[in-house]
Structure formats: structure tokens, C-alpha cells
Chains A and B, each alone.
Chain A
Amino acid sequence: MDVWNAHLHGIDFDNVLGVVEVSGAYLDDDAAVTHGAESAAAPVIRPALVKAAGIGVCMVSLAMLLLAARRFGGAYLAGRLAMLLATLLAATAFVFVIVQVVPGDPVRYMLGLQADPGTVAVLRHQLGLDAAPLQRYLSWLGGLLRGDFGVSYTYRIPIRTLLAERLQVSLPLAVYALLLSTALAFPLALYAAARRGRPGDTVASGVMQLGLAVPNFWLGMLLVLFFAIDLRWVSAGGFPGWQAGFWGAMKALTLPAVALAMPQAAILARVLRGSLIDTLHEDYIRTARAKGAGEWRVLTRHALPNALIPVLTILGMQFSFLLAGAVIIENVFFLPGLGRLVFQAIAQRDLIVVQSVVVVLVFAVVTVSFLVELGYALINPQLRAARGA
């Protein structure tokens, strides 16, 4: 609990835009101080959680790839994979150009204009910045392939370690929010579609409109105000770490996940409702009714599977929005995730950390949307037909 509350004391440092001296930030930043302790504990947790999740994702992806290869042939799959790699490559190039080429000299930028030329030269050499941009890009890319993101300038530890620790917060948060959002959206959408055109639908649609309008970070603030400050059920923020026990960690992630999930649930429910109602106008729904099927059966057995096809795309996009949205929510709840890392890095002008976080998030977004597209092709018979399978 002490560690947890210590994060709260660090609030003032987290004002992202406060001009933070580079040297000062290094010592004062709460996260940095605790890193020593955390990184010792981290390997214990990582195999249990991150690895299990990682293996799960890899298995699912592999199964989908094999299935797709069988159904559409190697050429289709090779084409899609080549496209994925090209997108990833273009994304890294884009990030690299924006961060390392456009601003001119990153070292001068990081150290400020009054920096001592000697220090500049030393740092530049340290970071390998005296090479040509293309060479730097290639060596950065080579590092990425080996999982080596470089060394954080402010924290002085490998960025990979930083990311691994922060991902232990951000990734579960995004997954938690995605599950919540799905669990909220499906019943709401099914209810609204079943009651379409009647008062129940109007109310449900109103709830969706409201959910759509409320910004997630403000919802987070309201949740804190109500559950943490008024009711004192939970702490206003911070994260005890997974070593404090699964339930303690989940408790700390619940309010942020709710705040993240609500607007996404509203979007999902709205799309699903619309898709369900569109599907209900299809001829095969009338066929099912003519067979004697009841409303509920028509809705769940005939409309829902078909309505899910367009919803799948939204679901895939949601994951990326949730990962990115987590960046802001983490600041509301003082969670030591990627979001806080990136804002601290911006404040401290630690460009390589910013660059790494962005690349990791972009990789996640691109990969998830690739898998969703594959899944979309697999379940959609019309697409299957178009491929001549």
C-alpha cells in the first residue's frame, strides 16, 4: 500500500508540461526511483502473465494464419503478410523521420540550447547519433528486430525493460476494458434491436448517445469523485503492482477500465444495433419467420451471426483505440503504464522513449487490425466466394 500511495504523492511531477529539468527529472521521478525494486520483482510476474497472454495471442494468430493459408492459398496469405510487413516498415520509417530527422539535432533538442558542447558531443556519441540518418534508422530497425529498443536517456536503463514493465499495466487495462465494453454493448444492442421502434429502443439508444458524448477521461474523473472521494470504496489512483496480488491489481484497474470501456461500449452497441436492424430487413429473416421461428430465435440465430461481420471491424479498431485511449486514462488514475511513460518522456525530452512507445503501440494496432481482417475474411462466406475458394 505504501508504494501505491507513493504514486499519489508524485502527482505534481506528472503535470506533463511543467518544465522539468532533465537532471532533476531523473532523480525526482517516482517511477524511476521505484524501478530498481520493481525490475527485480518483474521477472517473477512476467512469465506468469505476459508470457501466458503472449503465447495465447501467438497461438490464435498462428491458427488463423494456417486456416487462412488452407482456405485462400499461400499466395493470398503471402500477399497479406507482405502488406503487413510493408505497413510496419513504413510506420517505423515515418516515426523515425518525425522524431529523429525533422527536428534536426535530437541531442541539442534533448539537452536544450544552452548545453555545453562537450556534453552534447558525449551524449551524441553515446546514443550513436553521429552516424548518418539512414544508418541510424537501419541500426534502430535491426535493434527492434532483436527486441532492443535502445537505452532511455533519462532513466539510463534499456527501454525494453521500461516497456515490459509498463505493458504489464497498459495491456491488461486495454484487455479488461475491451471485455467490459463487449459485455456491456452486446446485451444493450440486442435489447434495443429486439425492441426496435418502441420505447425500450428509444431509451437504450438514448443511453448509447450519452455514452458516446462523454469523454472517457472526464468519466474517469467523475468516477474518482464518486467512488474514491465520496464513497471511499477504492483508491483515487495508482497501482499496487501485480506482486500485490491479482485482485488488488484488478481492483486498481477497475475504475480506469470502466472509464475506458463506457464510450467504446456505446460505439459498439450503436454499430451492433444498426447492423442488427439492417440484418433484420434481409430476406432470410423473413424466411426464418415463415418457418415459424420466434423473435428471439430470429434475432440470435439468424440476425446476430450475420450482424457480427461488420461489427468485427469495429471491435478490432476498438482495441487500438483502447490502447491509445489508455494513454490519457493512465494520467487520470496515475497508473504507471505506457501513457504515463510517454508523457514523462515528452516532458524530459527523452525522444527515444517516445519513439519506442509510439512504435510499440503502432505495432499493436497494425497487428490487431491485420488479425481482424483475416478473421473477417475467414467468417465471411461472400468474401470466401470472391476468393474462389
Chain B
Amino acid sequence: MSDAKLLEVTGLNVAFGAVRVVKDLSFELRSGEVLGLVGASGSGKTMTALGITRLLPPSAVTSGVVRINGETLSAIPESRLRAIRGRGVGMVFQEPMSALNPLMRVGDQVAETVRLHRPVSRAEARRAAREALVDVGLEQGTSDRLPYELSGGQRQRVAIAMAVVMSPGLLIADEPTTALDVIAQAQILLLLQQLVRTRNMGLILVSHDLAVVAQLADRVAVMSQGEIIEQATADEILRRPCHAYTAALLSAARLQPKPAAPLSMSARTSPPANTASMPAVLDVQGIVREYPRKRTSLWRPAPPLRAVDGVSLSVHAGETVGLVGESGSGKSSLLKAILALETSQAGEVSLLGESMLSAKGATMRRLRRAIQAVFQDPYGSFDPQWTVERLIGEPFHLLASVPSAAARRRKVAVVLEQVGLSASDAQRLPREFSGGERQRIAIARALVTEPKVIAFDEAVSALDVLIRGQVLNLLAELAQRLKLSYLFVSHDLQVMRAMADRIYVMQRGRIVEEGPTETVFASPRHAYTQALIAATPKLPVT
């Protein structure tokens, strides 16, 4: 680590009209140092990252001094700034799926950086690009591919190659792994770490995830509402946070594993005696869900895509069952099949001992009352034109006789209070609520028919960590108080560990491992489970 200051930011301000999103920010960075910039969504961390190289939207008003290697960026003309972008400062953004030009071969996109900054021939730039792509761990020949042919992790490597091909002194990575699966995330973090070491680069790692930042950062700056509220070495922040907000953030990020419930105490080889004697509330046997593919041959139909390949699972009374897997593993397809929202090609779902898949009419309505669901997107889960009362009351449709307006209002008020909102919220529209409150409304809607089972599809994935903690507490409390069973689908192992009594691990449409949560975490048997657990970033426990 050299002593020369690579980057100095003094009094940076970013405002959109009257709204100040970054307030009087100051920090510095040395070569070879990693600064973690942490904060909830809307804390201004991305605007800070973009503000350094003045890549903010034109409506943003900035002030303050940004100095890189002694050169003041805030004072130089756009043309000089362009020479610094890509050459002095490389940038990597969040969305690998949209960060690459879909019509340009990835090699050419990397070569473009070279040709923008060095007067070299096309062939030379291509050669440099190919080398850079190999440097970030991609195979030979990747440079001739188009972005759609690559996975998310591979695309993020291309983006990194583009950012570092000119060996810039500073790399700014804005949530570089947030959109990736956990295994790809671990690989990208490792790559960044290697690059910083071998090239002595400075790295600003912007993330909402303290555990990710903790893996790489030498120093951490915590942002809230446009300000850095605390800045110290990573070690100090993690062990002795000074600010109450940082402490809250840390404790919310350190989810406590759920204490093993008495009924899942016994060894995984033989199911617990007390659950085996008790019929499952929800029993799923051999579900197969296939999607047709476009035929590519004139003579025979294309083999269908098997998203769910013979999955069986069960949920007992009062139990929270976790279903964990990466994106594309078939979790959501399985959930839709279980909820009879999509037709399965094979298998059986029985709810309270009755077949869910063949039920019709009144039986179906009775069964639907017993199983409700909460979905991922707190913004898309509600018809924007309906009031909360109408939204929560939508499942009343399932009752044999629709209750009177007064009875409906009473019931809606009850569930609103159960999820920690007030009865007076009933007349408001969903857009008047924050993401966490909306997820509470979604839970209220699931509770209103007094179901036995609630299925959660990534229900806390879109929430900030503080809010996530509150919602998880609420769910645990409701399960206990109302004797609910949960089928909890998530990609997040930490959340799983905090919520589930038993978990099923899903990979490519199949269950590869199942068992009581703590047993699986303590001694995973399947290689995939082992890889998942190893890749999950952990906060050091104090």
C-alpha cells in the first residue's frame, strides 16, 4: 500500500432540484486500498459513485472537489474527463444483464475502451481485449460471443475486463454482485480482490450488503440519507460500531439461526416420530412442470424444458419449511404448480388431505382459502388503483357467501393490526406505502382467509436489511400466534437459516438435499449445498 492519495473527495454534494441526495461528502482512498461504501437503497451511495466521474444524469447539480492523482476532476472540461474515464477510473455497474451492448461482440466492447484511449490498430486493440478477457477468468474465444450467449457472472467478468483493460488506478464497482447468484458472487468478489492486489488498484465497492463489503474492504464508510455517518477500518466498524444506525444495520444483517424446534430434533435419517404420525398439512408428490420449447426441427417437436423434475416435499402443522435454490432452479415454477396456478405435467398436491390439482368449484375455493401466498415484488403485488381494503379483501371471493361490507371492514382491520399497520390505512392506495409496509399489506391479504399454509416466494428479497429484519420477526411471531405453516422460498441462505425448521435444496428442478436446517448447515452432504454454504458471505461474529 503506497502512501500517495489516489482519490480525494471533499465536500461532494449532489442534488436533483431541491432534493439533496448526497450531502457534503468527504473521503479519500489510497492505491491498493478497498473502501466499502455501505447503505440502504436511497442512501445516496450510487449517486456518490457516479458523481466522482460526473456520470450523473444531466438534471443533477453537483458541487465539491474530486481529485484523482492530484488532478481536480470537478474543474476540467468534459473532453479531458472522457480521457480519464476508462483510463484513470474504471467502473463496473450492478446489472450485468443490461450493462453490455446487446448487439456488439464482447471482445469489441472491451477493445473499444482500448481504442478510445490509445492510438492502436483494430487488431492490436482486439488482442489486448482478448488478453483482458482471459485475465478476468473467461475462456479463450469468449471475445467473439454476444452478451446474450453469456451467463450473468460471465457478463460481469466482461464488464470488469472493460473497466480494467487500461489498468486504471481506481476501480469503482457499484453493487457488482447484487444481481448474481451466491456462487457467482463469491467468484466475482475473489476476482476483484485479486485485481486489487496484483495491480495495486484502489477500489470503491458500493454495496447494500455488509457481509459482501466485509469480505473485501479495508475501510468502510456507512451512508445514510446522503451522508457518511461513520467511517473507519472494516474491523472497527464490524466489531465496535460507534453510530446507532451502523449497529442496527449490523445486527439486522447478522440473522440469528432459528433454534431447532423440538419436533425436528431427531436425526435426519429417520423422520421425527411425532411428525411422521401426524399427516402433513401440505404434501407434494412427484411434481413435474414442463414448458414447451419452440420446435427447431420440422420433423419432431423440441423436447420440453423440464423446470421441475419430480419434486416431493411436505409441510407439517406449525412448521416452516424452506426451499432454497439459485435463480433458474425451478423454485418459482414449483410454487406455482403447488398453488395450482399452472398445470403440472405429473404429480399430486394434497392440502389437508384433499387433492389440490383436481379440485374444482366449491372444493377448490375451500382449499384456496387454506393456502395463500406472498410474492416477491412489493411494488408489483398490488393493483395500483385499488385501495388497501379492497386489496386485502380480494380473497373474500373464496368464501361461500361474501360477508357484508361491515364484516369485511372489520376483518380487514383485524389483519391490518395483526401485521402492525392500523385500521385507518384501509382507505389508502398502495403507492402511499413504503416497500416494507407493502409487504405487510401482502401478508395481511394472505391472512384474511385464515389459511393453514402461506407460501412465500422471495418475500423479503427486495427489502432493505433493516426492514427485512422487522418483516422476518413479524412472520415468526404470526406463525407462532396463529399456528401457521410456512413454505418459504428464497435464494438467501442466511434468511433460510433464520426462518426454516427444515429445508429443501433445489438445483436444476430437483431436490438434492433435505433435512432439519441446522443439520444441513452444519454438515451438508451434497456438493451443491456445500458450495452454496461456502459461497455465502458471512459477517464475522463478535
> What residues of chain A have their CB less than 8 Å away from a CB belonging to chain B?
72-76, 78, 197, 282-284, 286-294, 297, 301-302, 305-306, 379, 381-382, 384-388
Contact = CB atoms under 8 A, between A and B. Distances in A.
B86 A74 contact: no
Given A286-B55, A386-B294, 9 more contacts: A75-B298, A287-B91, A290-B91, A293-B82, A293-B116, A305-B103, A385-B149, A388-B296, A388-B302
Given A74-B298, A197-B58, A292 B98 contact: no
B297 A73 contact: yes
Nearest to B297: A75
A198 to B, nearest CB: 9
A384 B145 CA distance: 13
A293 B302 CA distance: 43
16 contacts: A73-B297, A76-B294, A197-B58, A283-B95, A286-B55, A287-B91, A288-B112, A289-B55, A291-B112, A291-B113, A292-B85, A292-B116, A301-B112, A302-B104, A388-B294, A388-B302
A292 B117 contact: yes
A291 B147 CA distance: 17
A288 B101 contact: yes
Contacts of A291: 85-86, 112-113, 116, 162
Contacts of B103: 305-306, 379, 381
Interface in B87-127: 87, 90-91, 93, 95, 98-104, 112-113, 116-117
A384 B298 CA distance: 18
Given A197-B58, A291-B162, A292-B83, A381 B148 contact: yes
Contacts of A293: 82, 112, 116
Interface in B71-90: 79, 82-87, 90
B541 to A, nearest CB: 36
A78 B298 contact: yes
Nearest to A383: B148
Contacts of A289: 55, 85
Contacts of B321: none
Nearest to B158: A287
Given A283-B99, A284-B99, A284-B100, A73 B296 contact: yes
B492 to A, nearest CB: 24
B146 interface: yes
Contacts of B188: none
Contact of B93 (A287, A292, A387): A287
B329 to A, nearest CB: 20
Given A291-B116, A385-B148, A286 B93 contact: yes
Interface of B: 53, 55, 58, 79, 82-87, 90-91, 93, 95, 98-104, 112-113, 116-117, 146-149, 159, 162-163, 293-298, 302
Contacts of A388: 293-294, 296, 302
B53 to A, nearest CB: 7
A312 to B, nearest CB: 13
A283 B159 CA distance: 11
A296 to B, nearest CB: 11
A322 B163 CA distance: 47
Contacts of B58: 197
Nearest to A282: B98
Nearest to B96: A283
A6 B159 CA distance: 68
Contacts of B84: 292
B99 A287 contact: yes
Nearest to A379: B103
Contacts of B101: 284, 287-288, 302, 305-306
The 5 A-B pairs of least Cβ separation, nearest first, read: A292-B86, A290-B91, A283-B98, A291-B86, A292-B85
A302 to B, nearest CB: 5
Contacts of B146: 381
B377 to A, nearest CB: 20
A270 to B, nearest CB: 22
Contacts of B87: 292
A107 B326 CA distance: 72
Nearest to A196: B58
Contacts of B93: 283, 286-287, 290
Contacts of A74: 297-298
Contacts of B99: 283-284, 286-287
A164 to B, nearest CB: 37
Nearest to B54: A289
Contacts of B98: 282-284
Contacts of A379: 103
Nearest to A74: B298
B61 to A, nearest CB: 15
Contacts of B95: 283
A195 B83 CA distance: 22
B55 A290 contact: yes
Nearest to A297: B116
A293 B87 CA distance: 11
Contacts of B296: 72-73, 75-76, 387-388
A387 B149 CA distance: 12
A176 to B, nearest CB: 30
A289 B82 CA distance: 8
A148 B146 CA distance: 48
Given A287-B159, A288-B101, A388-B293, A294 B82 contact: yes
Chain B CB within 10 Å, residue with most, of A75, A301, A387: A75
Nearest to A305: B103
A384 B148 contact: yes
A282 B103 CA distance: 13
A382 B102 contact: yes
A76 B163 CA distance: 39
B82 A290 contact: no
B104 to A, nearest CB: 8
Contacts of B113: 291-292
B100 A287 contact: yes
A293 B86 CA distance: 9
A282 B104 CA distance: 15
Contacts of A286: 55, 93, 99
A76 to B, nearest CB: 7
A284 B102 contact: yes
Contacts of A302: 101, 104
